[in-house]
């Protein structure tokens, strides 16, 4: 005989988890996609910019090689899950020499992100056509984390180098 009281709580938790995953998938499908120009698409990990650290792990190389916007949903979801796994929560990003630290930064929407450039060259971070930020050499810049599309994963280009990192914006 089945004791329904013992399985009631785990069943509710499982149903809530399924509803959350489905809700997020529906939300992502309805959200506008960033323009194709916003993220360079590398054909394979050997095409990674040469200024990136040579000691990247296989997962780090994979996250810097995102699927195209028209790739199957499963492939895009796999990339998003990998980025989430690699993400580190912080309110600061170091882009000295166009080497993002952390590679995937996790931060809440509408928070201020401090971007540090300790190098001797001005750097320009490009998220899309309307979200470009100049970071002068040996300085820091504050960026409000709101790229116009809500929560999600945002890749950015370090001008002259290519895709160098991601920001995972959370609620």
Read off the CATH number of the domain in which 132 is found.
2.60.40.420
Beta pairing, strands 123-126 & 88-89: unpaired
Q: Is 97 left (phi over 0), alpha (psi -120 to 50) or beta?
A: left
Sign of CA pseudo-dihedral 80, 167, 148, 162: negative
Asked whether residue 22 falls in the same domain as residue 47, the answer is: no
Q: What residues make up the domain containing 63?
A: 35-170
pLDDT digits (tens, 9 = 90+) for 27-84: 666 654 444 444 433 333 344 444 556 788 999 999 999 999 899 999 999 999 999 9
Asked whether residue 16 falls in the same domain as residue 75, the answer is: no
| Single pTM value for the model | 0.68
Asked whether residue 96 falls in the same domain as residue 72, the answer is: yes
Specify the number of domains making up the chain. 2
């Amino acid at each position: 005989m089945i004791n329904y009281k013992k399985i009631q709580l785990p069943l509710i938790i499982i149903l809530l988890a399924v509803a959350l995953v489905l809700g997020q998938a529906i939300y992502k499908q309805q959200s506008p996609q960033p323009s194709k120009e916003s993220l360079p698409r590398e054909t394979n990990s050997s095409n990674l910019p040469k200024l990136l650290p040579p000691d990247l792990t296989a997962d780090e190389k994979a996250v810097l090689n995102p699927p195209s916007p028209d790739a199957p949903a499963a492939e895009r979801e796999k990339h998003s899950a990998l980025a989430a796994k690699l993400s580190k929560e912080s309110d600061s990003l170091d882009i000295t020499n166009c080497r993002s630290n952390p590679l995937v930064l996790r931060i809440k929407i509408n928070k201020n992100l401090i971007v540090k450039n300790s190098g001797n060259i001005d750097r320009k971070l490009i998220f899309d056509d309307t979200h470009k930020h100049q970071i002068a050499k040996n300085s820091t810049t504050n960026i409000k984390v709101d790229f116009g599309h809500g929560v999600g994963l945002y890749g950015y280009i370090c001008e002259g180098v290519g895709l160098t990192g991601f920001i995972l914006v959370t609620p």
